Structure 1
């Protein structure tokens, strides 16, 4: 388990009041840490999607012009042949 450090930050008063009513004192740090981890994961995913937008070029993948079904079937068929040997 990672070591813990204290952090001080400001929250809107209504949010803090609701949080304190809903979460027992001994669980508040855990709840905040879990919520922050989840939000950071979401932000990282969002950034990755934004950064990679446009990376896939149709001209580089003409085999998918008619859709993915035929392409995937050909891939699966080729791996079945090598697995059965």
Structure 2
């Protein structure tokens, strides 16, 4: 599996959890719970063609990684 679309679930300094792309200054999404952020991160990666989700703990260290396959987009058209 390729890691062309990595995302990170990281704690937000103001509370809650963010889903971020590498090198991004803004979060792709923000959530109150880590579980919600993980679920949204999986959706984002699946829609982008698959990749790796890196889940950080409150201390900032990576606590888990999840490889996400390509999503199942019901549309037949591109874009």
Q: TM-score, normalised by structure 1?
A: 0.23
Q: Per residue, is there more helix in 1 or in 2?
A: 1
Q: Per residue, is there more strand in 1 or in 2?
A: 2
